[in-house]
């Protein structure tokens, strides 16, 4: 059965990007175990991200000049990008630019995933919209020993322990990976 998963890294004080929307701080963190992302991504059949995340990846990895990097990272996995403005497409990437309600897009992503999982890359506000609609099944967070003091919040929503259950903890070097299952709630 397809799960909709938010898989991300966060600073210890709850930010997924710094105040400049950068993730550079993340690449300094020591990892010692197997490639946890590769293990996770092997189960992904569709993914989506917000415009800010897309623009950061686009610029950081220079994907317009080196589009093969996208293929190396994600293959032909279909990706939906939520945006309210026109963004450049990465040549050869399976991208769909969308805006508005996450519900119909979620239906399309689940169908495209063909029983594999749907990865909500980020940002936190976009993932929050999925949670608001009862469309988030699992949160997998790599908590890093970094304190940013501000930036993009992990998930700017109120989710209480009655809605979230810790199911797994794994240490990977300096990262504590926590997995939470969510009880799906109908939309309000």
d(CA 158, CA 163): 10
For position 31, what pLDDT does the model report? 80
Q: What are the tens digits of pLDDT across the range 113-152?
A: 999 999 999 999 999 999 999 999 999 999 999 999 999 9
| E strand or H helix that includes residue 79 | strand 79-82
Residue 183 has pLDDT above 90, yes or no: no
78 lies in a domain? Answer: yes
130 lies in a domain? Answer: yes
Q: What are the tens digits of pLDDT across the range 68-118?
A: 999 999 999 999 999 999 999 999 999 999 999 999 999 999 999 999 999
For position 187, what pLDDT does the model report? 52
Q: What are the tens digits of pLDDT across the range 8-61?
A: 999 999 999 999 999 999 988 888 878 889 999 999 999 999 999 999 999 999
d(CA 8, CA 177): 10
Counting Cα atoms < 13 Å in the Cβ hemisphere of 55 gives: 14
Helix ranges (DSSP H) in the chain: 36-41, 51-60, 68-74, 102-113, 124-132
CB within 8 Å of 25: residues ≥ 6 apart: 11, 18, 144, 146, 148
For position 38, what pLDDT does the model report? 92
| pTM of the predicted model over 0.75 | yes
Domain of 109, CATH number, reads 3.40.430.10
34 lies in a domain? Answer: yes
156 lies in a domain? Answer: yes
Counting Cα atoms < 13 Å in the Cβ hemisphere of 41 gives: 15
d(CA 70, CA 76): 9
45 lies in a domain? Answer: yes
Nearest Cα neighbor of 83 from 45, 123, 39 is 123
52 lies in a domain? Answer: yes
112 lies in a domain? Answer: yes
Domain that holds residue 20: 4-182
Count the domains in the chain: 1
188 lies in a domain? Answer: no
């Amino acid at each position: 059965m397809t799960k909709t998963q938010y898989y991300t890294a966060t600073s210890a004080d709850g930010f997924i990007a710094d105040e400049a929307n950068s993730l550079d701080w993340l690449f300094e963190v020591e990892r010692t175990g197997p490639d946890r992302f590769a293990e996770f991504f092997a189960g992904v059949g569709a993914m989506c991200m917000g415009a800010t995340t897309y623009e950061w990846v686009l610029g950081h990895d220079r994907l317009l000049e080196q589009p093969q990097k996208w293929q190396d990272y994600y293959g032909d996995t279909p990706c939906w990008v939520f945006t309210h403005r026109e963004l450049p497409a990465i040549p050869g990437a399976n991208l769909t630019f969308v805006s508005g309600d996450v519900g119909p897009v979620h239906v399309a992503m689940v169908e495209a995933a063909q029983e594999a999982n749907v990865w909500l890359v980020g940002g936190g506000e976009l993932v929050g919209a999925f949670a608001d609609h009862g469309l988030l099944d699992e949160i997998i967070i790599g908590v890093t020993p970094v304190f940013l003091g501000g930036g993009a919040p992990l998930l700017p929503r109120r989710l209480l322990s009655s809605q979230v259950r810790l199911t797994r903890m794994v240490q990977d070097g300096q990262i504590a990976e926590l997995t939470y299952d969510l009880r799906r709630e109908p939309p309000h």
